[in-house]
């Protein structure tokens, strides 16, 4: 045994080196089980992580006795292992998350103490290695996800470019053969297949189709599997099909079908265009509105961009998207919806000069091309006119219909590469306009593109923020304005990204809602806050915790159950918790939200309306909903000046009065000066929060703050 003892540091190095060389946790555990059994000349080696048998050697191809192995506790002993027999066993554990054990079993003799010490070292090393590997695996997964997103973006960009090329060929009346080749080649490239054929009925020789194809290996058999087919029309009549042979060893997915259809539509366009001028006109115009379609618009835009002109901002594109069209269309019916679109087209045209182009891109998307738009103001003026024109009520099928328009504007500046880039810029600006609150216009600035990329980055990072421990909760005390004593605490979510730094909740919460991560984040924050509340209430049982919840959370039918479970877990009564909701939620969600709130109220939980006064909640909603508190938005508090004669406290006064009448508390947010506090108190507002009293603070400082602010435990 002297040897074993002398050698243990080297054996440990040998073991850890070999285990750490593995790429994933499973193979590291496998290697550890194997090497440990070899090091101790044992028949059996096993690794248990959590309560699960991760790896075992010694049982051959028979299933290892997982239960017996998992039952072996750290230390030395004897165990009966199926397939091996009664064996001496030694086990050593590690505590890193997740905890685990390394087990060896030997038939012919027991384990000496120094062997057990070596096993302990190995187990610790394995625990560390598994944790490191897990971190690396997470890192690798994230990198792969980034890569995938980048590739998807590039793929979409490629599709756009190829389609634009084809559209350009069609609009420039390139030879038909050339256009059709471009279509089959483009489809083959994007689908990643060997062969795409265009099969057409030949009017002169029925029964013998004309076939145009690409990359066709002469006589080579097509791979097995179902081909993908998309119809091609000439003048609206079926005239043939675009056929893609299945990819080598693969199958098509629905996205492939859409893609082939897009190419088939272009083939239809080209063929129709080639047949007659009439057909060409049809092919380039929107059937419903008679406006130019995207292809014609793009062609004209290309020409406008290519034409040499003096001065900047000669070309401008407006991207017009109707607001609420889908809802209107659903309620008035599709035929009436079509009529509405025709009427919108007419109003847009009415805002333009001769020579400007208005086009419909499909659905409720329109575009306007302004040439010779000499100043920025003129494109923006046209946009304002269009918004105004569309906003006016429409009379459709005897009903009054209201829609709106959001418009993105982009200019053909020196920096713009081509039509597609200009259109994309206008599209991005349109989304910005929508975000700013429908019925508006926005002009493209490069920061919008950056914002899109940043958002993609944030989305990815946010998916794993909870798991990586990047989120935290800070606490801002709520006080009684009369004496400044604390009454409660508001929990505020913070995200610290390793490279982006602190990301504001106003930035990341909407993203979390969009990508469906808000549920997990909200649950986590609620749990943190309740844990903190339970701790703080041991000495201050009167303390209440306020937690912000998003509309998405409230919409989840499970939400009241989750709240109840969290309260139970931390031993909190319902009245210890206030849930803060935004007032817009009452309006947007009011049907379902009412039922949800009543279930929450049944738990004893209070409901506060956050940022009150900034939205447009009607009194009617306030009456319907079981709201306990109104929080006065900081913007109104800021308007209260130091001098009572100068400031504007009309809004605050109204809200406080409203609260009094409806029997709700009012709490002022963002109080920064003693004058504001005094004025609020004079107006009848009894509670508040803000830097004047305390800034939001991390959990570990909250207790100390409470101690100095309210040293006496009031309940005592």
Partner 1 sequence: MTDVTIAGTRTRWVGVGHAVAEDDAAGEAAGREAAAAAVQGADPALVLVFASPFTDLGAVARGVRAQAGPDTPTLGCTTAGEIAGLTVGSGHVVVVALGGPGLEIRTASADLADGPRAAGSAAASCMDGIDRPHRALLLLYDGLFLGRSEIVRGAYSVAGAGVALVGGGAGDELAMRRTRQLHGDRVLANAVVAAAIGSDAPIGVGVGHGWRRVGEPIVVTASTNERILTLDDRPALDCFLERLGAPPGVDSTDETWRIRALSHPLGLSRPGGEEVRAVIGVDFEERSLLCGDVPQGTMVWIMDGDAESVQAGTGIACDEMLASLGGHPPVGVVAFDCAARRNLLGPEGTAREAEILTERLGAPVGGFYTYGEIARTRGSRGVHNATLVLLGLA
Q: Name the nearest CA neighbour of 639 among 647, 650, 631, 651.
A: 647
**Residue 57 near partner 1 by CB under 8 A:** yes
DSSP string over 90-126: EEEEE-SSSPEEEEEEESSS---HHHHHHHHHHHHHH
**Rounded to an integer, what is the distance from CA 100 to the centroid of its chain?**
35
Straight-line distance from the first to the last Cα atom of the chain, in angstroms, rounded to the nearest whole number: 65
Residue 512 vs residues 190, 457, 549, 560, 582: alpha-carbon distances, Å? 32, 13, 12, 20, 16
The minimum distance between CB 78 and partner 1, in angstroms, equals 16
Among 29, 43, 292, 690, binds partner 1 (CB under 8 A): 43
Q: Which of residues 58-117 bind partner 1 (CB under 8 A)?
A: 58-62, 83-84, 106-108, 115
In the stretch 445-484, what mask flags binding to partner 1 with x, by CB under 8 A?
A: ----------------------------------------
Give whichever of 44 and 170 is closer to partner 1, judged by the CB atom.
44
At closest approach, how far in Å is the CB of 82 from partner 1? 11
Residue closer to partner 1 by CB (options 108, 226) is 108
Spatial distance between the Cα atoms of 402 and 193, rounded to a whole number of angstroms: 48
* Token reading at 102: 């390394």
54 binds partner 1 (CB under 8 A): no
Does the footprint of partner 1 cover residue 578 (CB under 8 A)?
A: no
φ, ψ (nearest 5 deg) of residue 376 = -55, -40
Closest CB to partner 1 among residues 105, 163: 105
Angle at 424 between CA 254 and CA 345, to 5 degrees: 90
Q: How far is the CB of 19 from partner 1 (least distance, A)?
A: 12
323 binds partner 1 (CB under 8 A): no
- Least distance from partner 1 to the Cβ atom of residue 364, Å: 59
Best CA proximity match to 488, nearest among 540, 527, 415: 540
Task: Give the x/- contact pattern for partner 1 in 661-680, rule: CB under 8 A.
Answer: --------------------
Query: 10, 237, 334, 538: which one contacts partner 1 (CB under 8 A)?
Result: 10
Distance CA 445, CA 409 (A): 10
The distance of closest approach from Cβ of residue 140 to partner 1 in the complex, given in angstroms and rounded to an integer, is 23
Min. distance of Cβ 475 from partner 1 in angstroms? 51
Which stretch in 8-16, 127-135, 276-284, 611-619 sits in contact with partner 1 by CB under 8 A? 8-16
Q: How far apart are CA 124 and CA 32, in angstroms?
A: 12
- The verdict on 41 binding partner 1 (CB under 8 A) reads yes
Tell the smallest beta-carbon distance from residue 519 to partner 1 (Å). Answer: 43
Per DSSP, the three-state class of 216 is coil
Q: How far apart are CA 340 and CA 403, in angstroms?
A: 9
> Residues 266-291, buried b or exposed e (16+ Cβ, 10 A)?
bbbbbbbbbbeeebbebbbbbeebeb
The least distance separating partner 1 from the CB of residue 5, rounded to whole angstroms, comes to 11
**Strand 85-94 versus strand 100-106 pairing type:** antiparallel
Nearer to partner 1, 13 or 682 (CB): 13
Number of residues that bind partner 1 (CB under 8 A): 34
Q: Mapped to the 3 state alphabet, what secondary structure does 250-299 carry?
A: CCCCHHHHHHHHHHHHHHHHHHHHHHCHHHHHHHCECCCCCCECHHHHHH
Residue 124 or 540 with smaller CB distance to partner 1 = 124
- Token pair, residue 190, equals 């994007």
Out of 25, 45, 127, 439, the residue judged to bind partner 1 by CB under 8 A: 45
Binding mask 184-213 for partner 1 (x = CB under 8 A): ------------------------------
| Residue 39 touching partner 1 (CB under 8 A) | yes
Interaction of residue 699 with partner 1, rule CB under 8 A:
no
The correct pick among 28, 32, 37, 540 for binding partner 1 (CB under 8 A) is: 37
Q: Which residues bind partner 1 (CB under 8 A)?
A: 3-4, 6-7, 10-15, 17-18, 34, 37-45, 57-62, 83-84, 106-108, 115
């Amino acid at each position: 045994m002297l040897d074993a003892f002398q050698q243990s540091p080297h054996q440990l190095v040998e073991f850890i080196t070999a285990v750490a060389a593995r790429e994933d946790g499973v193979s590291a555990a496998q290697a550890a089980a194997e090497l440990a059994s070899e090091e101790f000349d044992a028949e059996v080696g096993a690794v248990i992580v959590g309560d699960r048998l991760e790896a075992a050697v010694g049982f051959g191809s028979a299933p290892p006795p997982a239960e017996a192995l998992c039952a072996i506790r750290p230390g030395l002993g004897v165990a009966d292992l199926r397939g091996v027999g009664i064996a001496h066993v030694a086990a050593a554990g590690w505590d890193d998350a997740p905890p685990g054990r390394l087990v060896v079993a030997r038939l012919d003799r027991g384990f000496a103490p120094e062997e057990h010490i070596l096993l302990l070292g190995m187990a610790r090393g394995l625990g560390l290695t598994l944790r490191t590997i897990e971190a690396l695996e997470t890192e690798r997964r994230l990198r792969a996800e980034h890569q995938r997103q980048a590739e998807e973006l590039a793929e979409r960009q490629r599709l756009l470019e190829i389609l634009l090329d084809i559209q350009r060929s069609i609009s420039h009346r390139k030879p038909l053969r050339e256009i059709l080749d471009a279509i089959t080649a483009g489809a083959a490239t994007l689908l990643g297949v060997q062969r795409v054929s265009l099969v057409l009925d030949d009017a002169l020789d029925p029964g013998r189709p004309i076939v145009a194809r690409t990359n066709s290996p002469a006589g080579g058999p097509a791979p097995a599997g179902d081909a993908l087919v998309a119809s091609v029309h000439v003048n609206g009549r079926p005239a043939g099909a675009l056929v893609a042979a299945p990819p080598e060893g693969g199958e098509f997915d629905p996205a492939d079908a859409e893609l082939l259809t897009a190419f088939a539509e272009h083939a239809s366009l080209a063929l129709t265009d080639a047949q007659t001028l009439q057909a060409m006109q049809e092919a380039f115009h929107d059937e419903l509105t008679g406006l130019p379609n995207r292809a014609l618009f793009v062609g004209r835009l290309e020409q406008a961009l290519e034409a040499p002109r003096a001065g900047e901002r000669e070309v401008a594109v407006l991207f017009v998207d109707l607001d609420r069209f889908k809802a209107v269309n659903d309620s008035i019916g599709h035929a009436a919806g079509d009529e509405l679109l025709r009427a919108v087209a007419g109003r847009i045209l009415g805002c333009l000069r001769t020579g400007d182009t208005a086009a419909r891109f499909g659905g409720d998307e329109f575009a306007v091309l302004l040439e010779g738009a000499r100043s920025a103001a003129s494109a923006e003026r046209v946009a304002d006119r269009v918004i105004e024109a569309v906003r006016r009520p429409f009379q459709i099928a005897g009903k009054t219909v209201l829609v709106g328009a959001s418009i993105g504007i982009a200019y053909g500046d020196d920096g713009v590469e081509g039509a597609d880039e200009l259109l994309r810029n206008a599209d991005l600006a349109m989304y910005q306009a929508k975000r700013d609150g429908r019925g508006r216009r926005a002009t493209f600035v490069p920061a919008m593109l950056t914002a899109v990329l940043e958002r993609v980055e944030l989305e990815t990072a946010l998916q794993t923020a909870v798991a990586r421990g990047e989120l935290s909760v800070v606490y801002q005390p709520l006080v009684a304005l009369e004496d400044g004593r604390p009454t409660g605490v508001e929990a505020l979510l913070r995200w610290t990204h390793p490279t982006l730094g602190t990301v504001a909740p106003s930035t990341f919460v909407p993203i979390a809602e969009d990508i469906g991560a808000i549920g997990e984040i909200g649950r986590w924050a609620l749990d943190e806050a309740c844990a903190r509340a339970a701790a703080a209430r041991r000495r201050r049982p009167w303390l209440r915790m306020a937690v912000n919840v998003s509309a998405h959370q409230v919409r989840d039918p499970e939400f009241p159950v989750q709240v109840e479970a969290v309260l139970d877990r931390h031993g909190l009564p319902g009245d210890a918790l206030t849930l803060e909701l935004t007032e817009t939620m009452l309006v947007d969600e009011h049907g379902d939200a009412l039922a949800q709130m009543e279930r929450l109220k049944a738990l004893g939980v209070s409901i506060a309306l956050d940022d009150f006064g900034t939205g447009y909640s009607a009194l009617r909603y306030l009456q319907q909903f079981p709201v306990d508190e109104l929080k006065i938005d900081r913007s109104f508090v800021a308007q209260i000046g130091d001098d009572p004669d100068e400031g504007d406290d009309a809004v605050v006064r109204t809200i406080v009065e409203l609260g009094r009448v409806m029997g709700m508390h009012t709490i002022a947010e963002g109080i920064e000066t003693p004058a504001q506090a005094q004025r609020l108190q004079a107006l009848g507002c009894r509670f508040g929060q803000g830097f004047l009293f305390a800034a939001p603070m991390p959990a570990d400082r909250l207790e100390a703050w409470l101690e100095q602010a309210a040293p006496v435990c009031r309940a005592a």
